[in-house]
């Protein structure tokens, strides 16, 4: 199969064609579900480029050395010379870098790639080597939003973006199967089509310099950027290039409005800001004085349709919103309210202590000695289980003794010279918020304050690159309203939507979080979970027939037995109330968790508190 | 090819912040925070073209100032009564890439020399190259902690002391730290934040006509860089001359009592810790007056200097946006300037 034989996805193909015409178009990112042909299409890009153009794949296991370049081991050992061994960035100069599943690449690595791309030069200062070389390439990447998201900052670096819809019609699917099955299908007509296309691209490339962009078009490009509230100026620059390339592709020498319109969705869709809050917030309910009664006017909120932009920014939005919208169906008689998120306030930072386990995940909260060769080479030392030799340090250790050792051509290295790389990597965390959504949380705007607290913790998580998940329990069940994600915006929105009403199935909440923690342990054994249970502790809905308290105790026992999780209980009960029960405090004991009344989360109160036992530390905010 | 500094549209605060540091390196650098795609990196890289020549020890890889602090090698030459020759050298913008390793930052044993000659010799790192120059870190908030530690260490002392792999070496490392960052990507460590003398926030230019001009200039530059640079050459030279003149004028500018009082009164009202803010405001105000060709510091200079120096020094709540209390500073001024 060739580029022309690839079924559908005309927008993706157009994006690639435009990049082939003008590399200044800034590359393209394809986002869509797995197995839908994104990578296949990206790889077919090669066919549009002149024969000798480099096309370099970036594997997920890539090390920094491999990306940036490193010291040439052979020459160092044989001749005692320092020489630069080029890396991926160097090989890709003048060509394409293809990054499959870019969202799974550590953020630090993506930053390195775009740092060099932005500068147009790779500056190498590593392991005794200094090198500068030109580094101009077209970034082509794919991602599956279900697997994690890409920050807006990195999204902006891509000239174009294509939301990859899977082909659903039977006829379309049949065609795809037929083509993928048979190499023979690359029959003469697609062959001929491809060579026609290549010729057209070559012509367009020649024409490009002569394509004129009238002042009115420049103006209209800027107006479109302003209309959409685009941050920064890259969008407009890319739109200009894309429109110009498109005109050249159409063999026209003047760019028109129509050309701009054609390429607009490719360039601006991923840069547009999510719709303003007012539009998304049709119902705002003020909590009434006594909201325990069931017969008050009922407010049910429809999950708003997710618009195109949200989908781009936040990927997996659709799936979860449909889950959430299923919830209100069974509860027509119950009162339900949605409280605003209270003002976020400064909370103490949560830091998990460095543990001894070697890990392979990346994040910002806790540093950990990393396993394998993927962390950042921090310094060299004498010990290593990985036999990961730090060549530069080893050579330096051996160098002064070469004369004594009667060196003959190649360098004499003795075992005592060996130095090994110490690598460090930040470990990732999943912070699971388990929020009580029962009716009692609605009293005296407690939910508003609670949401404010969670929002504050959420901001902290975002800055530390933690993933977050939400579990809400109310009425007779608990549900994951937000599966683990690193999208802060999306989490904040979900938080806002958490409704209040009904009974308190606390044990169901604990069971759900236990399941999630166990799943994480299976899928990502290196991730630490921090369970933040936010409740007033007034459990009144059991899972089974047994006593509620017994049930809670056994659930808590299960959870505290999970070695990959730490727990934290935030008690939202009104401590001034005469009817206070302090159940949450007891629950914290059973969970072996740290316990904080909601009021204590505020930083002013926490000032001065320093040390905590076990694995949790609350460090003072700056 | 570097886009000319003078052709950057708008973003006056950022440009001023950079130029002030050229006029007076003791101001202590600039942090540029802002949205993606707002010419942050472009401006810093473009600054190189406007930098003046400074006096250094001839041939010294550490760029020692002849009458200032000297590196181990220059000191040895002095001790042997070999004189230090002087030469003029243009200041540079040295980039610190995110992927840098420790040995290349601080310098280490020169392997090749050791292997070939059997002698230990110090091989200078980036800190050496940055001495008396600008040190630029793009995405400074993404820099690894262990690199930040080393950077802070030598920034505080103005000296880089190396004791590793059998080499001992000391050399001056006075650099003007310039960092750019997008705050959405994570915050900066408070110690590092405080290191930056000045701080500006940049946002996209909102004015339509200016945006069109940005688009035009960028595209013209990309298409025909040579003729674009020629067009801007006169303007570039004018700016460079202005900066050089301001450097010479700087130390002659009077710092009157009322100005000092005004500055101290302001930082006291804002309840700021330490004296760094006072000093930075004073130096920045003086550099502003020098750039404007004035003989003394006026209220306008103090105001601008305060806006540039205080944005990252104010006490704030962790989730408050930086600079959210700048209105307080503005209010202070409307009070202060009243007769």
Are the beta carbons of A64 and B99 separated by less than 8 Å? yes
Do A219 and B208 lie within an 8 Å CB cutoff? yes
Testing the interface with B: which of A231, A377, A405, A606 to mutate, by most B Cβ within 10 A? A231
Looking at A151-160, A506-515, B115-124, which range is the least confident one?
B115-124
Contacts of A330 (CB under 8 A, 6+ apart): A475
Q: How far apart are CA A339 and CA A331, in angstroms?
A: 18
Contact A82 B166 (CB under 8 A): no
- Residue A487 neighbours by CB under 8 Å, 6+ apart: A149, A313, A314, A315
Is the pLDDT at A352 greater than 60? The verdict is no
From A43, A136, A198, A234, active-site residue: A234
How many angstroms separate the first and last alpha carbons of chain B?
Answer: 51
Axis crossing angle, helix A234-249 with helix A257-268, rounded to the nearest 10: 130
Q: Name the residue among A347, A319, A410 with its Cα closest to residue A73.
A: A410
How far apart, in whole angstroms, are the C-alpha atoms of residue B175 and residue B26?
Answer: 9
B166 neighbourhood in chain A, CB within 8 Å:
400
Which of A128, A345, A622 lies closest to B190 in CB terms?
Answer: A622
Contact list, A230 vs chain B (CB under 8 Å): 204
Distance, in Å, from the CA atom of B19 to the CA atom of B147, rounded to the nearest integer, reads 27
Q: Which residue of B has its CA nearest to A453?
A: B319
pLDDT digits (tens, 9 = 90+) for A132-145: 899 999 999 998 87
The end-to-end CA distance of chain A, in Å, is 58
- Per DSSP, helices labelled H in A308-347 are 308-314, 317-326
Q: Are A233 and B99 a contacting pair at CB < 8 A?
A: no
Nearest chain B Cα distance for residue A84, angstroms: 13
Cβ–Cβ below 8 Å for A80 and B146 = no
Instruction: Indicate yes or no: CB of B98 within 8 angstroms of CB of A222.
Output: no
Which run of H or E residues covers position A135?
A: none
Catalytic residue list contains A228: no
- Per-residue pLDDT of A512-526, as tens digits, reads 898 888 877 776 666
Choose the closest CB to B100 out of A81, A125, A459: A125
Query: What's the pLDDT at B25?
Result: 92
Torsion on CA atoms A592, A593, A596, A598, rounded to nearest 10: -120
Query: What is the enclosing helix (H) or strand (E) of A55?
Result: strand A55-58
CB contact under 8 Å between B138 and A209, yes or no, is: no
Q: Give the pLDDT of residue A502.
A: 82
Instruction: Answer whether A376 sits within 8 Å of B144, measured CB to CB.
Output: yes
Kindly determine whether residue B112 and residue A367, on different chains, have CB atoms separated by under 8 Å: no
- What is the H or E stretch that residue A245 is in? helix A234-249
Of A215, A397, A622, the CB nearest to B165: A397
- Residues B126 and A125: beta-carbon distance below 8 Å: yes
Which segment, A565-574, A605-614, B125-134, is predicted with the most confidence on average? B125-134
Using an 8 Å CB-CB cutoff, list chain A residues near B210: none
Chain-chain contact of B104 with A237 (C-beta, under 8 angstroms):
no
Quote the Cα angle for A152-A154-A159, to 5°: 100
Higher pLDDT: A283 or A562? It is A562
Q: For residue A340, what pLDDT is reported?
A: 67
Q: Token pair of B333, please? A: 């001024």
**Residue in the structure block whose two tokens are 């830091």:** A351
Q: Which of residues 1-20 of B touch A (CB under 8 A)?
A: none
Q: Which residues of chain A have a CB within 8 Å of the CB of B104?
A: 125-130
Distance from CA of A401 to the nearest CA of B (A): 7
pLDDT band for position A458 (50/70/90)?
confident
Q: Do the Cβ atoms of A426 and A465 come closer than 8 Å?
A: yes
**A424 with B204: Cβ contact below 8 A:** no
* Interface size, chain A vs chain B, as Cβ–Cβ contacts under 8 Å: 173
Using an 8 Å Cβ cutoff, are A55 and A48 in contact? Answer: no
User: At A61, is the pLDDT very low, low, confident or very high (cuts 50, 70, 90)?
Assistant: confident
For residue A522, give how far its alpha carbon lies from the nearest alpha carbon of chain B (Å).
Answer: 30
- In angstroms, the CA A109 to CA A97 distance is 13
- Angstrom distance (rounded) from CA A387 to CA A98: 31
Active site residue ranges of B: 276
Residue A603 CA to residue A621 CA, distance in Å, equals 8
Dist CA B219 CA B210 (whole Å): 14
* Span of A299-313, A374-388, A485-499, B146-160 with lowest mean pLDDT: A299-313
- Residue A432 pairs in a beta bridge with A469, A531
Q: Are A423 and B102 in contact (CB under 8 A)?
A: no
Do residues A67 and A109 make contact, with C-beta atoms less than 8 angstroms apart?
Answer: yes
Helix (H) / strand (E) element for A463: namely: helix A446-463
Which residue of A128, A156, A400 is in closest CB contact with B36? A156
Segment among A177-186, A421-430, B176-185 with least mean pLDDT: A177-186
pLDDT at position B199 is 93
Interface test with A, best of B2, B32, B92, B101 (most A CBs within 10 A): B101
**Chain B residues within an 8 Å CB radius of A88:** none
Tokens of A510: 């604990």
Which B positions 52-81 lie with beta carbon below 8 A of chain A? Answer: none
**CA–CA dist A68, A124 (Å, integer):** 7
- Token code pair at residue A544: 């089974």
**Taking every pair of C-alpha atoms in chain A, what is the biggest distance, in angstroms?**
95
* pLDDT greater at residue A372 or residue A534: A534
CA neighbor of B100 nearest in space, from A10, A150, A108:
A108
Q: What percent of chain A has pLDDT over 70?
A: 71
Tokens of A75: 């020459």
- CB-CB contact of A318 with A306 (8 Å): yes
The side-by-side arrangement of strands in the sheet containing A137-143 is A55-58, A95-99, A137-143, A28-32, A160-164
Cβ-contact B76, B64 below 8 angstroms: no
Half-sphere exposure of A44 (CA within 13 A, CB side): 23
Say what the ipTM of the complex is.
0.82
Is B112 in contact with A82 (Cβ distance < 8 A)? yes
Judged against a pLDDT cut of 70, whether residue A469 lies above it is answered with: yes
DSSP letter for A127, please: T
Query: CB–CB of A400 and B319 under 8 A?
Result: no
- Shortest CB distance from B100 goes to which of A126, A230, A402? A126
A371-397: b (≥16 Cβ within 10 Å) or e: beebbbbbbbeeebeeeebbbbbbbbb
Strand partners, B177: B135
CB spacing of A225 vs B184 below 8 angstroms = no
What does the pLDDT read at residue B246?
A: 95
The whole-angstrom distance between B101's CA and the closest CA on chain A is 5
Q: How far apart are CA A426 and CA B144, in angstroms?
A: 10
In this predicted structure, what is the pLDDT of residue A330?
A: 41
pLDDT class for A389, splitting at 50, 70, 90? confident
Distance from CA of A143 to the nearest CA of B (A): 20
> Smallest Cβ distance to A115: which of B97, B103, B182?
B97
Contact yes or no for A115 and B126 at CB 8 A: no
Place of tokens 């939507």: A497
- Alpha-carbon distance A25 to nearest alpha carbon in chain B (angstroms): 12
Reference A158, options A202, A123, A113, A92; nearest CA is A113
Give the pair of three-digit tokens for residue A238: 């890319």
C-alpha span between A486 and A107 (Å, rounded):
12
Question: How far is the C-alpha of A31 from the C-alpha of A12, rounded, in Å?
Answer: 10
What does the pLDDT look like over A314-337, one tens digit per residue?
Answer: 333 333 333 333 334 343 334 566
Higher pLDDT, B155 or A74: B155
| Cβ-defined contact of A125 to B216 (cutoff 8 Å) | no
Which of B:246-265 have CB within 8 Å of A?
none
CB atoms within 10 A of CB A606: 17
SS3 assignment for A344-398: CCCECEEEECCCCCCECCCCCCEEEEECCCCCEEEEEECCCCCCCECHHHHHHHH
A356-388 pLDDT, tens digit per residue, is 333 434 444 455 555 555 566 666 776 665 667
How many angstroms away from the CA of A230 is the closest CA of chain B?
A: 9
Q: Which of A111, A156, A240 sits opposite B219 (nearest CB)?
A: A240
Q: Which residues, including other chains, have CB under 8 Å from residue A579's CB and lie 6 or more apart?
A: none
Mutate which of B38, B97, B99, B166 to test chain A, going by most A C-beta atoms within 10 A? B99
Contact between residue A345 and residue A603 where contact means Cβ atoms under 8 Å apart:
yes
**Which of A381, A427, A622 to probe the B interface (max B CBs under 10 A)?**
A622
Collect all residues of chain B within an 8 Å Cβ-Cβ radius of residue A417: none
Q: What is the mean pLDDT of chain A?
A: 74
Taking contacts as CB-CB distances below 8 angstroms, the residues of chain B near A621 are: 318
3-class DSSP string for chain B: CCCCHHHCCCCHHHHHHHHHHHHCHHHCCEEEEECCCCCHHHHHHHHHHHCCEEEEECCCCCCCCCCCCCCHHHHHHHHCCCCCCEEEEECCEEECCCCCCHHHHHCEECHHHHHHHCCCCEECCHHHHHCCCEEEECCHHHCCHHHHHHHHHHHHHCEEEEEECCEEEEEECCCEEEEEECHHHCCCCHHHHHHCCEEEEECCCCCHHHHHHHHHHHHHHHHCHHHHHHHHHHHHHHHHHHHHHHHHHHCCCECCHHHHHHHHHHHHHCCCCCCHHHHHHHHHHHHHHHHCCCCECCHHHHHHHHHHHHCCCCCCCCCCCCCCCHHHHHHHHHHHCCC
Q: Are strands A55-58 and A95-99 parallel, antiparallel or unpaired?
A: parallel
Q: Pairing mode, if any, of strands A84-85 and A70-71?
A: antiparallel
Instruction: Specify the length of chain A in residues.
Output: 622
User: Would you call B115 and A411 a contact, using CB atoms and an 8 Å cutoff?
Assistant: yes
Q: What is the dihedral of CA B104, B110, B115, B120, to 10 degrees?
A: -140
Contact B215 A68 (CB under 8 A): no
Residue A47 CB: number of other CB atoms within 10 A?
Answer: 16
Question: A376 to chain B: which residues are within 8 Å by CB?
Answer: 144
Instruction: Collect all residues of chain B within an 8 Å Cβ-Cβ radius of residue A603.
Output: 317-318
* Cβ-nearest to A377 among B101, B109, B204: B101
How far apart, in whole angstroms, are the C-alpha atoms of residue B125 and residue B61?
A: 10
- Using CA coordinates, name the residue in chain A closest to B142: A108
Confidence class for position A292, pLDDT limits 50, 70, 90: very low
pLDDT values of chain B reduced to their tens digit, one per residue, 339 residues: 889 999 999 999 999 999 999 999 999 999 999 887 888 989 999 999 999 999 999 888 888 988 888 888 888 888 888 888 899 999 999 999 888 888 889 888 887 777 777 777 888 899 999 999 999 998 898 888 888 888 988 888 889 988 877 778 889 999 999 999 887 666 687 788 888 999 999 988 889 999 999 999 999 998 899 999 999 999 999 999 999 999 999 999 988 888 999 898 888 888 777 788 899 999 999 999 999 999 899 888 999 999 899 888 876 543 345 555 566 666 666 654 443
């Amino acid at each position: 199969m060739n580029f022309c034989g690839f079924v559908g996805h005309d927008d993706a193909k157009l994006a690639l064609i435009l990049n082939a015409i003008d590399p200044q178009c800034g590359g393209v990112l394809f986002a869509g579900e797995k197995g839908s042909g994104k990578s296949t299409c990206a790889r077919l890009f090669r066919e549009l480029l002149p024969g000798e153009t480099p096309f370099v794949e970036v594997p997920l296991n890539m090390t920094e050395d491999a990306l940036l370049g490193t010291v040439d081991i052979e020459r160092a050992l044989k001749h005692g010379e320092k020489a630069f061994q080029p890396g991926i960035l160097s090989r890709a100069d003048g060509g394409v870098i293809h990054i499959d599943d870019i969202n799974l690449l550590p953020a630090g690595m993506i930053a390195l790639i775009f740092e060099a791309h932005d500068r147009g030069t790779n500056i190498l200062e590593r392991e005794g080597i200094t090198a500068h070389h030109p580094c101009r390439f077209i970034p082509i990447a794919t991602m599956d939003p279900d697997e994690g998201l890409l920050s807006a900052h990195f999204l902006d670096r891509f000239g174009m973006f294509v939301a990859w819809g899977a082909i659903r019609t039977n006829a379309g699917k049949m065609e795809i199967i037929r083509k993928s099955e048979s190499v023979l299908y690359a029959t003469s007509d697609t062959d001929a089509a491809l060579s026609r296309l290549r010729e057209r691209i070559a012509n367009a490339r020649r024409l490009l310099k002569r394509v004129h962009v009238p002042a009115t078009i420049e103006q209209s490009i800027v107006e479109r950027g302003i209309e959409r509230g685009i941050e920064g100026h890259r969008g407009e620059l890319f739109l200009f290039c894309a429109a110009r390339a498109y005109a050249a592709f159409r063999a026209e020498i003047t760019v028109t409005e129509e050309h701009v319109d054609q390429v607009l969705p490719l360039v601006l869709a991923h840069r547009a800001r999510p719709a303003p809050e007012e539009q998304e917030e049709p119902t705002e309910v003020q909590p009434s004085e006594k909201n325990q009664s069931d017969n008050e006017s009922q407010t049910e909120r429809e999950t708003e349709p997710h618009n195109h932009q949200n989908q781009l920014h936040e990927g997996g939005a659709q799936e979860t919103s449909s889950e959430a919208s299923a919830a209100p169906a069974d509860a027509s008689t119950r009162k339900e309210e949605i409280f605003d998120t209270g003002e976020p306030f400064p909370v103490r930072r949560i830091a998990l202590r460095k543990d001894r386990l070697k890990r392979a995940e990346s994040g910002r909260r806790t540093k950990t000695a990393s396993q394998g060769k993927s962390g950042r080479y921090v310094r060299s030392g004498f010990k290593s289980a990985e036999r990961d030799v730090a060549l530069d340090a080893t050579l330096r250790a051996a160098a002064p003794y070469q004369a004594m050792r009667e060196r003959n051509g190649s360098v004499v290295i003795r075992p005592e010279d060996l130095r090994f790389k110490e690598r460090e990597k930040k470990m990732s965390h999943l912070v699971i918020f388990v929020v009580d959504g029962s009716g009692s949380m609605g009293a005296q705007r407690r939910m508003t304050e609670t949401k404010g607290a969670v929002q504050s913790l959420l901001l902290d998580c975002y800055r530390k690159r933690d993933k977050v998940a939400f579990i809400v329990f109310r009425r007779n069940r608990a549900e994951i309203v937000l599966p683990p994600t690193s999208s802060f915006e999306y989490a904040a929105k979900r938080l806002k939507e958490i409704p209040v009403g009904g009974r308190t199935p606390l044990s169901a909440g604990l069971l759900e979080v236990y399941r999630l923690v166990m799943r994480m342990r299976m899928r990502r054994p290196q991730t630490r979970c921090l369970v933040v249970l936010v409740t007033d502790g007034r459990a009144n809905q059991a899972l089974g027939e047994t006593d509620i308290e017994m049930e809670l105790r056994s659930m808590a026992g299960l959870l505290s037995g999970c070695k990959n999780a730490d727990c934290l209980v935030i008690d939202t009960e009104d401590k001034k109330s005469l009817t206070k029960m302090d159940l949450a405090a007891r629950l914290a004991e059973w969970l072996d968790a740290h316990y904080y009344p909601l009021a204590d989360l505020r930083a002013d109160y926490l000032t001065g508190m320093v040390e905590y036992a076990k694995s949790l530390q609350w460090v003072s905010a700056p | 090819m570097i886009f000319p500094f003078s052709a950057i549209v708008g973003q006056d605060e950022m440009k001023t912040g950079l130029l002030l540091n050229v006029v007076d390196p003791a101001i202590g650098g600039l942090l540029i925070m802002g949205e993606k795609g707002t010419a942050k990196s472009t401006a810093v890289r473009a600054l190189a073209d406007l930098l003046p020549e400074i006096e250094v020890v001839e041939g010294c890889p550490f760029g020692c100032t002849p009458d200032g602090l000297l590196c181990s090698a220059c000191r040895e030459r002095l001790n042997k009564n070999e004189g230090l020759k002087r030469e003029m050298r243009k200041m540079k913008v040295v980039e610190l890439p995110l992927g840098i390793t420790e040995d290349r930052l601080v310098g280490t044993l020169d392997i090749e020399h050791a292997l070939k000659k059997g002698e230990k010799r110090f091989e200078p790192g980036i800190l050496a190259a940055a001495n008396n120059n600008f040190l630029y870190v793009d995405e400074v908030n993404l820099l690894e902690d262990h690199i930040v530690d080393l950077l802070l260490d030598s920034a505080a002392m103005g000296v880089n002391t190396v004791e590793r792999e059998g080499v001992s070496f000391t050399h001056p490392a006075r650099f003007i730290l310039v960092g750019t960052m997008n705050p959405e990507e994570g915050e900066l460590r408070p110690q590092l934040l405080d290191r930056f003398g000045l701080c500006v926030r940049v946002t996209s230019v909102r004015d339509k006509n200016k945006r069109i001009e940005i688009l035009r200039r960028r595209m013209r530059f990309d298409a025909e860089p040579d003729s674009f640079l020629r067009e801007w050459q006169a303007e570039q030279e004018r700016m460079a001359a202005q900066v050089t003149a301001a450097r010479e004028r700087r130390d002659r500018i009077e710092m009157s009592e009322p100005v000092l009082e005004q500055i101290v009164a302001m930082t006291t009202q804002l309840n700021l810790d330490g004296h760094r803010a006072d000093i930075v405001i004073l130096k920045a105000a003086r550099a502003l007056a020098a750039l404007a060709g004035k003989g003394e510091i006026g209220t306008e200079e103090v105001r601008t200097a305060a806006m540039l120096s205080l944005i990252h020094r104010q006490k704030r709540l962790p989730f408050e946006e930086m600079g959210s209390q700048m209105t307080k500073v503005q209010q202070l001024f409307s009070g202060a300037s009243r007769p």
